[in-house]
């Protein structure tokens, strides 16, 4: 069931890959604009690079998340899906995993932009990938749930960030801190504790949102 839902989502995303490309351009443009907030001071830019990367990814994520229910809203397809002998939970996890993969791709694609613009290179690529994957998971679990609500109401573009941003503060904080430690060096060995905070956040929201999703889409 879950694999079928996931397959459907991945297929849809593959067919609308131009959209992901557009969101990437949006994120890269955001990273470019952030540098004007600090000015051309290379040292400062490098210091803030992790924060900028995650803010860029967060802003881009609201676009992809809000769009992720686009197909379900057309021709009342969501009701059709719910009529299938499938658990709504697998629909949720299928969509959440698909959104997660999309955000990880987006995040890893934004990393080179960050490296070039802010001179924030690192050799610990694998650690960076783990942090991006965990942070993106923290965005996608509650984001997918809230998008299911906001896709059905007026002014969804305003409502989704309004609900999502306060909620993901711990995930954002931990991701920025962990990314910063990877880029700027980690003399105190704090990286592990931030990664465990991210894992805890992900574990809580991936289970809680899956539990509650059934109530959100029920008629």
Partner 1 sequence: MTEVLMTPTRTKSSLGNAVATALLCVGVYFGLVVTLADQYLHADLSLGLPLAVRTLIAVFGGLIGAIIFLAGDDLGGSLSTVKLLATIAVAFLVLGTYFGLFVAPPEQFMGEVQRIMYVHVPTAWNALLAMTFAFACAIFYLFNGDWKWDALMEGSIEVGVILAFLLCCQGAIWAKPTWGVWWDWDPRLTTTAVLLFAFLGILALRKFVEDPVKRGVWSSVATIIAYADVPIVYFSVRWWNSLHQLQSNPNTVSKPFWIPLRANAFGILLLMTAFILLRARVSKLRLENELAPPPLLEAELGEAV
As a whole number of angstroms, the distance between CA 60 and CA 18 comes to 14
DSSP state of 74: G
Sequence-ordered list of residues with C-beta below 8 angstroms from that of 30, at least 6 positions apart, any chain: 55, 56, 59, 60
Closer CB to partner 1, 54 or 146, in the complex: 146
Rg of the chain, C-alpha, whole Å: 18
DSSP state of 1: -
Minimum Å distance from CB 205 to partner 1? 8
Closer CB to partner 1, 136 or 197, in the complex: 197
As a whole number of angstroms, the distance between CA 77 and CA 81 comes to 6
Minimum Å distance from CB 106 to partner 1? 23
Closer CB to partner 1, 83 or 153, in the complex: 153
Helix, coil or strand: residue 76: helix
Closer CB to partner 1, 46 or 156, in the complex: 156
Closer CB to partner 1, 63 or 176, in the complex: 176
Residue 16 burial (CB < 10 Å; 0-12/13-18/19+)?
A: middle
Interface with partner 1 by CB under 8 A: which residues? 142, 145-146, 149-150, 152-155, 158-159, 162-163, 165-167, 169-170, 173-174, 177, 193-194, 197, 200-201, 204-205, 208-209, 212, 215-216, 218
As a whole number of angstroms, the distance between CA 23 and CA 2 comes to 26
Minimum Å distance from CB 134 to partner 1? 14
Minimum Å distance from CB 97 to partner 1? 19
Minimum Å distance from CB 108 to partner 1? 24
């Amino acid at each position: 069931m879950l694999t079928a839902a996931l397959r459907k989502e991945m297929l849809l995303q593959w067919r609308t890959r131009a959209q992901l490309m557009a969101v990437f351009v949006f994120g890269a443009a955001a990273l470019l604009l952030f540098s004007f907030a600090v000015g051309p001071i290379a040292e400062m830019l490098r210091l803030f690079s992790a924060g900028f990367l995650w803010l860029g990814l967060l802003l881009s994520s609201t676009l992809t998340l809000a769009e992720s229910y686009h197909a379900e809203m057309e021709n009342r397809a969501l009701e059709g899906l719910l009529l299938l002998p499938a658990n709504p939970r697998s629909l949720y996890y299928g969509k959440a995993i698909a959104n997660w993969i999309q955000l990880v791709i987006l995040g890893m694609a934004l990393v080179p932009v960050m490296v070039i613009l802010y001179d924030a290179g690192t050799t610990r690529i694998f650690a960076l990938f783990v942090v991006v994957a965990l942070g993106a998971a923290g965005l996608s679990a509650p984001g997918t749930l809230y998008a299911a609500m906001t896709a059905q109401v007026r002014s969804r573009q305003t409502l989704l960030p309004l609900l999502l941003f306060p909620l993901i503060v711990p995930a954002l904080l931990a991701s920025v801190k962990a990314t910063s430690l990877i880029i700027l060096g980690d003399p105190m060995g704090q990286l592990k504790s931030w990664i465990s905070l991210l894992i805890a956040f992900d574990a809580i929201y991936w289970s809680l949102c899956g539990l509650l999703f059934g109530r959100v889409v029920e008629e």
